[in-house]
Amino acid sequence: MNRETTNRIRFVLEDILPPFIRDSGAFRWAAQRVWGAHITHLANFRERAPFLSEKEYAELYRNHPRVHEGTDNSVACIRRILGSIEGETVCDIGCGTGALLSRIQSAHPELHRLTGVDFVIDDASRLSGIEYVAAKVETLPFADAEFDTVICTHVIEHILDYRRAIAELRRIARRRLIIVVPREREYRYTFNPHFNFFPYTHSFLRAVQPVPSVYVCEDIGRDIFYSEERGAAD
């Protein structure tokens, strides 16, 4: 499925069904008809979040079914990202399959350096003309202000220590930082391994404190698009 289709499904599940149904055993039973025991594994995963080992974290993501075709970003979000890139060097943190990197490469052939980072890069590493680095967002192996634009989409909701992750993103971004997260509410039983939930734009602004003087934070469909200026161009 593409992002637009899952957003329609999420609208029904998150905004129409009452919380007492979403958190009920009846919903878990219905969800198990689709995803089997994995729906319970996800609930347990969130409950045990502060105590998870790196091995447990990696194993759940390795076994988690891929829902979207290629990218978690909607067409509208991709268009907004492509129009917001600054400078000649770009890093996509949490690049996944590399689908967004491919779109950036096509739309901005003038870029001198295009880098993708993920803790697993098997899918993305098949793409040519792009540098790939296996790393965690909380400890990025780059110098301060190494990239003109740093992009991080559909990652922060997965990171337990998200403030540390955002600090790292800011550290390596020279001119612009772009973050996209899903706009969603937390329920006991969900179809994704998310730790953090941002139902409103101001919910996310609390997560990125301190907010700089020049920023954009807006809804794009069921996602939150955030962009901040990190410094002036030379």
Q: What is the pLDDT of residues 96-141, one digit of tens each?
A: 888 899 999 999 999 999 999 988 766 555 678 899 998 999 999 9
Q: What is the pLDDT of residues 155-191, one digit of tens each?
A: 999 998 999 999 999 999 999 999 999 999 999 998 8
Q: Six-digit token pair at 164?
A: 């540390």
Q: What confidence category does residue 231 fall into, taking pLDDT thresholds of 50, 70 and 90?
A: confident
C-beta of residue 105 within 8 angstroms of C-beta of residue 129:
yes
Strands 113-118 vs 173-182: parallel, antiparallel or unpaired: unpaired
Kindly list the distances between the CA atom of residue 195 and the CA atoms of 121, 129, 175, in Å, as whole numbers in the listed order. Answer: 22, 33, 29
44: number of Cβ within 10 Å: 10
Closest of 21, 24, 29, 89 to residue 230, by C-alpha:
89
Q: Is it the case that residue 52 has pLDDT exceeding 80?
A: yes
The contacts of residue 201 (CB under 8 Å, 6+ apart) are 183, 217, 218, 219, 224
Q: What is the pLDDT of residues 54-95, one digit of tens each?
A: 888 777 777 776 655 567 899 999 999 999 999 999 999 999
The contacts of residue 57 (CB under 8 Å, 6+ apart) are none
